[in-house]
Amino acid sequence: MPPVRPKPIGNTEIIANALRDAICSGSLRPGAPLKQDELAVEFSVSHTPVREALKALVSEGLAVLHHNRGCFVADLSSSVARELMEFRAVLEPQLAGWAINNLTENDIEQGRAIMSKIDNTNSPALRLRLATDFHTILYSRANRPFFLQQVNRARNNLNRYWQLAWSDQTFPVSTQDEHKKILALCVARDRSSLMAFIQEHIMTSGEVVLGYLKNLETNRVA
């Protein structure tokens, strides 16, 4: 029996990551087609890793597969944004609760350094990545890699919505103030207050996106 050929995991991950970044940054707009033939040529690979990469994006909600039409970047909707926000609001406080007693001084300093970078850039895409990094540094100490992976997938998807909203407005000052409070609660090892505040932080910031999307949807109907 001939040996079983390994799946091209490396190519699949490279393609999925590149497409994920393009979708979450807004370079690939909602509804844009994701054509296997074109992607295979672009990445100089066969159709197999492209097909597997697209399956991964569909499973994350970043792409949709339409029968006999192909694969497309998923549209934006207030109902999807709300579900992503609620998903984060359930899991992230729990991750923070698991992590708080494992945080080191270096973790806190890294958090402060990221906040400084956020203050020093005007790029919405970069601010979103840095905000994700800020939370990831704290949550990684929970030692729950599966939970963290799912949260980051939800954040990546929701970042598409932030990217759109922030194209019309500046990064909320209140968000940075909330990051400062999160770090202060981490330093104080106040687990219950930290968990409650992170939930509030997620829901409050999410309402900005929901309000923006509802206005867009209302204008389309009108």
Last residue of a domain, one of 73, 92, 110: 73
For residue range 202-220, list pLDDT tens digits in order: 988 888 778 777 776 676 6
139 Cβ contact partners less than 8 Å away, ≥ 6 residues apart: 92, 95, 96, 99, 147, 148, 151
Rounded-to-integer distance, Cα 115 and Cα 14, Å:
29
**179 shares a domain with 101:** yes
Alpha helices by DSSP H, 100-190: 105-119, 124-139, 145-166, 173-188
Q: Are 216 and 127 part of one and the same domain?
A: yes
The reported pLDDT for the residue numbered 212 is 74
Q: What is the CATH number of the domain that holds 106?
A: 1.20.120.530
Q: Report if residue 2 sits inside a domain.
A: no
**Global pTM exceeds 0.75:** yes
Q: Ranked by mean pLDDT, which of 27-31, 38-42, 185-189 comes out on top?
A: 185-189
User: Residue 168 has what pLDDT?
Assistant: 54
Parent domain of 25: 9-73
Residue 94 within a domain: yes
87 and 66: one domain?
no
* 65 contacts 71 by C-beta, under 8 angstroms: yes
Instruction: Please say which residue of 73, 94, 117 terminates a domain.
Output: 73
pLDDT band at 4 (very low <50, low <70, confident <90, very high): very low
- Examine residue 120 and state whether it is found in any structural domain, yes or no: yes
| Per-residue model confidence (pLDDT) at position 140 | 96
59 plus 90 within the same structural domain: no
Spell out the SS3 assignment of 76-98: CCHHHHHHHHHHHHHHHHHHHHH
What is the per-residue pLDDT across 30-78, written as a single tens digit (0 to 9) for each? 899 999 999 999 999 999 999 999 999 998 889 999 888 899 999 888 8
| 176 lies in the same domain as 88 | yes
